[in-house]
Amino acid sequence: MKEDDVAKRAFAMPLTSPAYPVGPYKFYNREYLIITYRTDMDKLRAVVPEPLMVEEPIVKYEFIRMPDSTGFGNYTESGQVIPVTFNGRKGGYTHCMFLDDHPPIAGGRELWGFPKKLGSPKLQVHSDTLIGELRYGPLLVAVGTMGYKHKEADLAAVKASMEIPNWLLKIIPHVDGTPSICEIVEYYLSDINLKGAWTGPGQLELFHHALAPIAELPVLEVLSATHILADLTLDLGKVVHDYLT
């Protein structure tokens, strides 16, 4: 293979059989259970990197079912998103994510900087309850429950909440272990076709685990639970802050 051929083909690893295809990355019938809760402000500030700023002690715990996504396939995801501001703009900082499919783990980390690790999340309906679960190995680390479709949500407000900016801390090391890339990435969801959104009573339990430390942001009070179904596109990002320059 010639040097020019390598440069033309190199967008992901491995070179001759990339872990994921070139985007755009579209999702159909993407389903969310989002439980918003109040937590400890000092612990929240300790995990959010400047220049992102925390203004209130709020966390959004998400279980996301993605049965049909271009390039990434059929998978489920779970993790914490923290409402923050950046240069006066409100958005969300993704603190941690656990999922059960290799292409979006590799692509999410390499392209955007999503903090993805391998886990075993589930989102399903059992009788009258929407249930989200996350296991790390054999151990249960999160359980979220919500009354199934008790009340229709304000669709305009839900769609507006999905259109806000999102920020990630992307870290790629040099071969010597020092950081080669260390930056804040901004991205958006687009082409949002909101098919439905509902609210209802919700509860969330987090359990301590050395390698899945989601309970380090403890649940002090559950504020709301929202169930969302939508088609959308996950857009590529842009660098808005570089820690190495």
List active site positions.
116
Residue 14 φ then ψ, to 5°: -70, 155
Which residue blocks in 10-154 are alpha helix, DSSP H? 41-47, 102-107
3-state secondary structure of 128: coil
Report how far residue 159's alpha carbon sits from residue 164's, in angstroms, rounded to the nearest whole number.
Answer: 9
Which residue blocks in the chain are alpha helix, DSSP H? 3-9, 41-47, 102-107, 155-162
CB atoms inside a 10 Å sphere around CB 154: 11
> What order do you get walking across the sheet with 129-136 strand by strand?
120-126, 129-136, 139-147, 202-206
The alpha carbon torsion through 214, 217, 56, 108 (nearest 10 deg) reads: -20
Nearest to 121 by CA among 79, 78, 80: 78
